[in-house]
């Protein structure tokens, strides 16, 4: 039976970072992954360019039942530490928007950097390999890997990610391991995911598919100011993905499609200058034409044809509310099929925030997306993977 110090389950962002750090400490590390190649989510991330961190990353960009849990890890391995690593490897990058850092070239550069660092630190990688059985032993853990291969290790690091994109092999594996060892989990749900509409609303809004606007989207007290996109199933785009992490079934979301424009004043001015124009024509000065048409149609058929001169201030206020105070109740989300991350996961009450070790199970660690720490859109989720992976790598 092969004896190893640390087995890491999952060669994703968190698992590879942990393996590098544990390897540097002289630990004998084996990383296993059931996929045939490492870092598949890194490869497809950021449209193939990997938004690998965010220069503004701070604990307020993360959602968790315990918002304080992520503070220690984010402080000890920061976005600047990861940027320094990327720079040492000569990977060119740029800030796209809102502090989001992307590779100039390809996400493969980040994967190659991590696998190269793993090799240098002596960590071994076994692909197309799953852990079929995991047992606790006196000194650590006994695992049976694919093909019945037995392995013993002192530390076991679960870095198997969340449930998003099952087509890529994502399962609830990490949560099952947590449950087996008596750790609690916070209910999981798809996050950073497009929202859908019921058939009647969809029918009305379908002609808008493909149209994008810079919007302010809100749910309760939370709001995001980013682009929003109408789709064939509902709404998407960064602002919607962000709010999806806060939205719950049955809730309404608020949308301002022209947040920078005082629509009432703009329409009053348009009425004074050219009262003969239809309201939708006046709105089309600010919004895509089809969207201006649909907005006025939602107020009633007569609105489309009405001229501004025929409209009272009260009516103009209604138009303004339809544009900047749109309230809509999504029927659901596109689910794990397209969600970028999984909200919830291993309950942070059962983990040590400094080491990521399970409180009641010495030698068992959980890192990355499997933990109940979920970042906003914009490089934050990878930063959590790097930070939590780095921390566990100092102790595993």
Q: How many CB atoms within 10 Å of residue 328? A: 14
Q: Does 226 bind ligand FAD (CB under 6 A)?
A: no
User: Of these, 323, 379, 390, 396, which contacts ligand FAD (CB under 6 A)?
Assistant: 379
- Cα 188 to Cα 73, 343, 373: the distances in Å are 22, 5, 11
Q: Which two tokens stand for residue 280?
A: 């939708």
CB of 148 to ligand FAD, least distance (A): 15
CB-based burial of residue 133 (10 Å sphere; 0-12 exposed, 13-18 middle, 19+ buried)? exposed
Query: Is 6 within 8 Å of 28 (Cβ atoms)?
Result: yes
Angle at 271 between CA 267 and CA 272, to 5 degrees: 120
Q: Is residue 196 near ligand FAD by the rule CB under 6 A?
A: no
Q: Which of 194, 344, 368, 393 binds ligand FAD (CB under 6 A)?
A: 368
Examine residue 320 and tell whether it contacts ligand FAD (CB under 6 A): no
Q: Which of 11-19, 61-69, 78-86, 345-353 is the region at the interface with ligand FAD (rule: CB under 6 A)?
A: 11-19
Helix (H, G, I), strand (E, B) or coil at 124: strand
Q: Give the range of 120-128, 263-271, 351-359, 375-383 binding ligand FAD by CB under 6 A.
A: 375-383
Return d(Cα 219, Cα 79) in angstroms, integer: 28
Stretch that binds ligand FAD, among 23-31, 89-97, 158-166, 311-319 (CB under 6 A): 158-166
CB-based contact 348:64 (threshold 8 Å): yes
Using CB under 6 A, which of 6, 7, 8, 11 touches ligand FAD?
Answer: 11
Q: What residue spans of the chain are helical by DSSP H?
A: 13-24, 40-44, 71-76, 79-88, 108-121, 173-180, 199-205, 238-244, 263-273, 279-283, 289-298, 301-305, 313-324, 380-393
Helical spans, DSSP H, in 150-228? 173-180, 199-205
Name which of residues 87 to 126 contact ligand FAD (CB under 6 A): none
Stretch that binds ligand FAD, among 59-67, 73-81, 166-174, 278-286 (CB under 6 A): 166-174
Contact 193, 334 (CB under 8 A): yes
Work out the number of other CB atoms within 10 angstroms of the CB of residue 302.
9
Between 218 and 381, name the residue whose CB sits nearer to ligand FAD: 381
Q: Which is nearer to ligand FAD, 282 or 385 (CB)?
A: 385
Judged by CB under 6 A, does residue 391 bind ligand FAD?
A: no
Q: Are 234 and 197 in contact (CB under 8 A)?
A: yes
The span from the CA of 166 to the CA of 179, in Å, is 20
In the complex, what is the shortest distance from the CB of residue 182 to ligand FAD, in angstroms, rounded to a whole number? 19
Give yes or no for residue 23 binding ligand FAD (CB under 6 A): no
CB of 194 to ligand FAD, least distance (A): 12
Q: Using CB under 6 A, which of 130, 202, 227, 321 touches ligand FAD?
A: 130
Report the alpha-carbon distance of residue 262 to residue 315 in Å, rounded: 15
Number of residues that bind ligand FAD (CB under 6 A): 37
Binding mask 327-366 for ligand FAD (x = CB under 6 A): -------------xx-------------------------
Residue placing its CB nearer to ligand FAD in the complex, 286 or 395: 395
Question: Alpha-carbon distance 381 to 266, whole Å?
Answer: 40
> At closest approach, how far in Å is the CB of 156 from ligand FAD?
12
CA atoms within 13 A on the CB side of 173: 21
Q: Which is nearer to ligand FAD, 14 or 239 (CB)?
A: 14
Among 73, 111, 131, 195, binds ligand FAD (CB under 6 A): 131
The residue range among 29-37, 137-145, 182-190, 211-219 that interacts with ligand FAD, by the rule CB under 6 A, is 29-37
Binding site for ligand FAD (CB under 6 A): 9-15, 32-35, 40-41, 44-46, 50-51, 130-131, 159-161, 164-165, 169, 171, 173, 340-341, 368-369, 379-382, 385
């Amino acid at each position: 039976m092969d004896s190893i110090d640390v087995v890491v389950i999952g060669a994703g962002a968190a698992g590879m970072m942990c393996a590098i750090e544990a390897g540097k400490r002289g630990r004998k590390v084996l990383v296993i992954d059931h996929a045939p190649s490492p870092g598949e989510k890194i490869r497809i991330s950021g449209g193939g360019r990997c938004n690998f961190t965010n220069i503004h990353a701070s604990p307020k960009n993360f959602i968790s039942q315990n918002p304080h849990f992520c503070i220690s890890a984010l402080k000890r391995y920061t976005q600047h530490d990861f940027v320094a690593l990327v720079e040492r490897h000569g990977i060119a990058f740029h800030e796209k928007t809102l502090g989001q850092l992307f590779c100039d070239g390809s996400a493969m550069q980040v994967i190659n950097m991590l696998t190269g660092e793993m090799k240098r630190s002596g960590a071994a990688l076994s692909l197309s390999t799953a852990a079929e059985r995991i047992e606790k032993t006196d000194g650590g853990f006994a695992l049976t890997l694919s093909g019945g291969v037995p392995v013993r290790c002192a530390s076991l690091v679960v870095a198997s990610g969340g449930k998003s994109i099952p087509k890529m092999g994502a399962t609830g594996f990490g949560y099952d391991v947590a449950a087996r060892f008596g750790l609690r989990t916070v209910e999981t749900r798809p996050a950073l995911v497009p929202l859908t509409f019921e058939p009647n609303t969809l029918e009305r809004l379908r002609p808008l598919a493909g149209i994008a606007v810079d919007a302010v989207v809100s749910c309760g007290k939370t709001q995001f100011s980013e682009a929003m996109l109408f789709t064939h199933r509902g709404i998407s785009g960064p602002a919607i993905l962000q709010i999806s992490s806060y939205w719950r079934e049955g809730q309404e979301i608020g949308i301002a499609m022209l947040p920078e424009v005082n629509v009432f004043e703009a329409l009053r001015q348009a009425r004074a200058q050219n009262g003969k124009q239809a309201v939708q024509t006046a709105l089309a000065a600010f919004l895509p034409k089809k969207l201006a048409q649909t907005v006025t149609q939602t107020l009633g058929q007569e609105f489309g044809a009405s001229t501004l001169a025929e409209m009272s201030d009260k009516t103009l206020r209604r138009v303004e509310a339809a544009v900047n105070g749109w309230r809509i109740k999504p029927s659901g989300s596109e689910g794990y099929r397209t969600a970028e991350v999984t909200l919830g996961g291993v309950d942070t009450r059962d983990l040590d925030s400094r080491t990521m070790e399970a409180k009641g199970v010495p030698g068992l660690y959980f890192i990355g997306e499997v933990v109940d720490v979920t970042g906003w859109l914009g490089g934050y989720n990878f930063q959590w993977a790097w930070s939590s992976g780095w921390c566990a790598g100092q102790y595993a």
